[in-house]
Structure 1
């Protein structure tokens, strides 16, 4: 009832004042047939600047008086719900219709706003995330959009090591945990972030299932967690456990999750885990994973952690070093100290 699902519905509400001068505001202004007559943004840095052939204003009330706008479109990011609510109330009070993105303001959670709009005889609608289309295709869908976290950007002061891998179940959680423990034994104040619900073992500082989040929230969750740990612990080094793989052939579904964790970690160095002769995964291999990681982020793979569970001849480790020109270790059998020394040397903690 309160969803808007077509450009034709926008056209009937022309012309618009658009609140939010970022990607969402620009996208809305570029809808075919939509007429924009003004822009508002709370950012002092943006006010007075040109945006989509208009000058950004600081006052919605002022623009309402100066233009022939019939509606406002609120295109603010997640985390700005307070500002979105303020502008919606101002617009309704002045007799304007309101269109809001699902990121800006959830109408299902603001029943009083719906009543206020009805009392003023104006239209208030939310741009649908079109989960109805997913439900039509699959017969099921979330009840609402699951993207909920503010899009923060944070680069830790401490060096960050991302522990990735060529597949699922190849040793990422074990490697992250053992590296953290070995770092502590060497006298470093190490922080360990696990992105798995099973990451409960010491020395993990925090763990959560990254796969339960919208992929749009994963990077923010990682950056927010690192910021929290730095404020609480002031670590010398941070280890972040990855999930799945960027390149695994047999199970493509979590690959976007792996990329989001890598991006969120903003890592200085990377360890790639690999399980030779994996019995139930289909890794493309170490060379594919290294190329993918270093293409996605400006970071460097500095070592290989091998899960030797399905290898009979443990001397095979030397073959990996010769092939990839990187230190390769059996993390569970004495290799952690050597790998950590490589990391410490690379990130400059000596």
Structure 2
């Protein structure tokens, strides 16, 4: 399914995290372009990570359609701001995409399928609207059962010291690395971008009532175990456990009952994004909070290299490894080898499973 991603003036920025994620990884959609007039003409992959992936950035929808061989099937709204309401320019882009015959995919908690103008336009031009974060009907939601305690498969989560620090990216990269090592690793998404990327298991839990968030996390893991028989499960974190604006982290811990954590941190970030009056927590305080809340250990640290040079990243990796005595990596620059090695150390049975698969 071909898709054009809207990320006007936000590609590569914090609020462009949905677009950033889809440019880096997408199993569900074939991303054929990004809309961002401030980066017009660039290769999106090269702009984000220095590696070309032939996803061109266009100045507007008309330019994209004119350049592409065919009109994309889907138009994905790829911006995720704190305040989710659309401005007139953004609304105009969505209307324009519908008039061109593109189905709309929305990751905001502002549901397009409840917007009168959008619904009328979609009906007129015969296109669909999908609200990824719209909760299932109450009858289809799950409450916590406690069956997560019966799971023998190792469950790890990637948490962070703030929102928008790359938890999902690290989790997805780690799952890919484990698969390359011959392990059946399964990713559990807890946010809209992971679902858009094609995750088979999970739900956007931040729009659920507190009574169902824990149960939905647990249910996603139980479903993955039943259907995939995985060697290991990697759960995406949300927000930060210490962040006063988010409750999702506590629901993930309660629902997943993780056996270990990886902690993602942006060393150059001084205050929480979107909350400049709230200072960032220290790695020490976040580790202490996670471990006391969950009774499980943080086994590795991963970096978000925003505003850092390569030299600063390398120096910080060494500094953190010496200071915290934990393997540290920037997975976008250095890969996941350290993380995989540590997982094999923490979970010895996981280290043997490739050999068992080869013998079978």
Q: Are 1:195 and 2:190 counterparts?
A: yes
Paired residue for 1:242, among 237, 246, 258? 237
CA distance in 2, matches of 1:303, 1:329: 8
Deviation at 1:335?
3.3
The C-alpha deviation readout for 1:163-197, integer Å capped at 9, x for no partner, is 10100011101011000010111100010001011
SS in structure 2 of the partner of residue 192 of structure 1 = strand
Unaligned runs of 5+ in 2: 1-137, 273-278, 352-360
Give the C-alpha shift of residue 208 in structure 1: 1.9
| Aligned-partner Cα distance in 2 for 1:199–1:279 | 27
Checking the alignment, whether the CA contact within 8 Å between 1:192 and 1:203 is kept in structure 2 is no
1:253 aligns with 2:250: no
2:169 maps to what in 1?
A: 174
Q: Deviations over 1:279-334 (max 9, x none)?
A: 76242121111111111112111000101122222222111111211111011112
Whether the 8 Å CA contact 2:186–2:232 is kept in 1: the answer is: yes
Contact 2:268 2:307 in 1 (8 A): yes
Distance 1:298 1:185 in 2: 30
Change in 2 beyond 3 A, CA 1:325/1:188:
same
- The structural deviation recorded for 1:202 is 5.6
Maintained 8 Å contact 1:180/1:203: no
Deviations 1:260-290 (A, max 9, x none): 1112111111100001112762421211111
Are 1:215 and 2:210 matched, yes or no? yes
Rounded to whole Å, the distance in 1 between the matches of 2:323 and 2:199 is: 33
Q: What is the count of residue pairs matched by the alignment?
A: 203
Quick check: 1:287 aligned with 2:284?
A: yes
Which residue in the other structure is 2:13 paired with?
none
SS for the counterpart of 2:345 is helix
Aligned to 1:307: 304
Give the unaligned 5+ runs of structure 1. 1-144
Distance 2:176 2:306 in 1: 21
Pair 326,146 (structure 1): closer, same or farther in 2 beyond 3 Å:
farther
Instruction: Map residues 227-238 of structure 1 onto 2, 5 A cutoff.
Output: 227-238=222-233
Classify the secondary structure of the residue corresponding to 1:198.
helix
Query: Could you state the TM-score of these two structures normalised by the residue count of structure 1?
Result: 0.55
Q: Which has the larger radius of gyration?
A: 1
Equivalent residue for 1:138?
none
TM-score (norm 2): 0.53
